[in-house]
Amino acid sequence: MSATAASRARALARTFASRTASASQRPNLDVPGVYEIRTRIIQPSRLDDYIDVTTRAKAETTRLNPGFLAAFVDDIGGNANAVTEVSRYDDYDARDRAMRAAREDAAWRARDEATRAMTTSETTDIFLEARIATEAAGLPVNDFVRRAEAESTTTTPRGDGVFEWRRYQLELGYNPIPKLQELIARGLPSKLATDREKKAELVWMGFSDVGKLNQFVELWRYDSAQAHIETRVAAREATEWRTAVNDIAPMVQMFDTRMMRPIGASRVR
């Protein structure tokens, strides 16, 4: 990256951070909401620029879009230039309102123009929280949002974690997603019980509502990539979990997993 390009990126970020706009309404955590998963592929030579611009704009991004939760860059198992962003809205109308408010904000448009120049492609999908599965792990609905809010306001932030994104593509039909949730709910407590040192934290589970359908994803946090491996090995001792996985396997057409790290803009670390 040239010195001129770096200077321009920093100037745009400062411009965005210095502007003000009407804040969006705070999320209503009593409703399940919808989660938008946005994936951007960044030009390899511009990834540091992208992270710099979005990091400097973090406070303004959160104010304009209080539902913005996290942003990760792939580390292992995916595209090393992919940035995955997660935002939550009360419903589709709330998302539309937030998008309109952002487009009307001059600073947001400047930031958007800067990041689009660094982006080679972009996809977006809507997911719903897999509440049957997450509640089996003891997570209340929208715990992902509460986590982001808590981490954003703490005076003693913890270090960045390593996040695992596990994605299943299930067979067609109405039944696979409900059945998968029931099976996970049945086996997940035994899996969690094998993690005696609490190295793994379940952040969220969801299934697609718009986009490639019958997708199911899990998001886990670890202090290190090695901790992720150790908890996977320990989970093999869980009989109920092994049984659930065996019952899930025939429904799965594709399964992949990748390790991600939070970038500076991410509220969840």
Identify the H or E element spanning 224: none
Contact 219, 258 (CB under 8 A): no
* Residue carrying structure tokens 């123009």: 113
Predicted TM-score (pTM) of this structure: 0.89
Which stretches within the chain are classed as H helix? 3-18, 47-56, 58-64, 92-103, 106-116, 131-136, 143-153, 176-194, 225-235, 239-248
Query: Tens-digit pLDDT profile for the chain (269 aa)?
Result: 555 555 555 555 444 444 433 445 788 999 999 999 999 999 999 999 999 999 999 988 988 899 999 999 999 999 999 999 999 999 999 999 999 999 999 988 999 999 999 999 999 999 999 999 999 999 999 999 999 999 988 888 888 999 999 999 999 999 999 999 999 999 999 999 999 999 999 999 999 999 999 999 999 999 999 999 999 999 999 999 999 999 999 999 999 999 999 999 999 99
Neighbours of 82 (CB within 10 A): 18
Q: Domains in the chain and their CATH numbers?
A: 3-128 (3.30.70.100), 131-262 (3.30.70.100)
Neighbours of 121 (CB within 10 A): 9
The helix/strand/coil state of 55 is: helix
